[in-house]
Amino acid sequence: MQATTLERRKIGALEVSLAGLGCNNFGWRIDTAQSARVVNAALDAGIDFFDTADIYDKGHSEEFLGRALAGRRREAVIATKFGMKFDDTHQGARPEYVLQSAEDSLRRLGTDYIDLYQIHQPDPNTPIADTLGALHQLVRAGKVREIGCSNFSAAQIREAGNCVSVQNQYSLFHREPEAEVLPECRKRGMAFLPYFPLANGLLTGKYRKGQPLPKGSRGDAGWGPRVFTEENLETVERLTKFAESRGHSILELAFSWLAAQPAVASVIAGATSPEQVKANAVAGRWKLGAEDLREIDALLGATIRAGGAS
């Protein structure tokens, strides 16, 4: 099937679709067959950027993604991560561990190269120069194309020096990166990859004020008390009315607002069904102008000042 054409942006030497697929649901929420349906739907919808990590369901996410991409690997840009605790003996960013983790991820993914290999979090026990030395060794060997980081502050980005991307939490409800990290990205020409772009489900359109949380949803599964507060749902109502008055959904608003932010290269959102993937693929096509962005900030108001929903 011919893939739909989506807007494309740069992550270092890589070129990726504006909408990316987060693969953290693979394994613990959906099985290998459903994961394959989601991946193929993504490729057919024009999404070619797939983000996973070694710790997602203890490697099953990478395995399921690798199986799904068998025969279509050249159509995909794969990003994975290392460094968070995999088990009692596997974590961190020591050079020898970096090299072993890469080999493990390559095996699980069923590929001989990783497009974007990311340090999942800073390792306070390992000098970043040592970690980068191992990562550059992987690049020279042709096993990694580009190096990125995740959950890094602006100061840590400066210390790392030559990562092409940073992946941090960012959404309409979580604006922390705007203070220091996004300006640092713009200064360096570095790509920013927002995760949790839908604010743990708040911006999907499934949650409305005065309505029960959908069965089986994140809210129903225990996220409710922290995220789905009356104040947050009131903010969702305001944003929904803003979007609908312009012929769009709140999902489209969430993606398009991120797409309008300088340095954002791809909006990474998870999915458990082909239908979700197809909706995400086209959600960022609404081009928001400066006046739209000012009005959105005004609607968020106290939410921004309070630090968001996370």
**Residues annotated as part of the active site:** 56
CA distance 224 to 154: 31
Matching residue, tokens 């409800």: 173
Sequence letter at residue 214: P
**19, 6 in Cβ contact below 8 A?**
yes
H or E element, residue 117: strand 114-119
DSSP-assigned states of every residue in 146-185: EEEEES--HHHHHHH---SEEEEE-BTTB-GGGTTHHHHH
List, in order, residues 6 or more apart from 84 with CB less than 8 Å away.
53, 54, 55, 91, 120, 121
Q: 28 is written with which tokens?
A: 């613990």
DSSP-assigned states of every residue in 242-294: HHHTTT--HHHHHHHHHHTSTTB--EEEE-SSHHHHHHHHHGGG----HHHHH
CA dihedral 135, 63, 150, 255 (to 10 degrees): 140
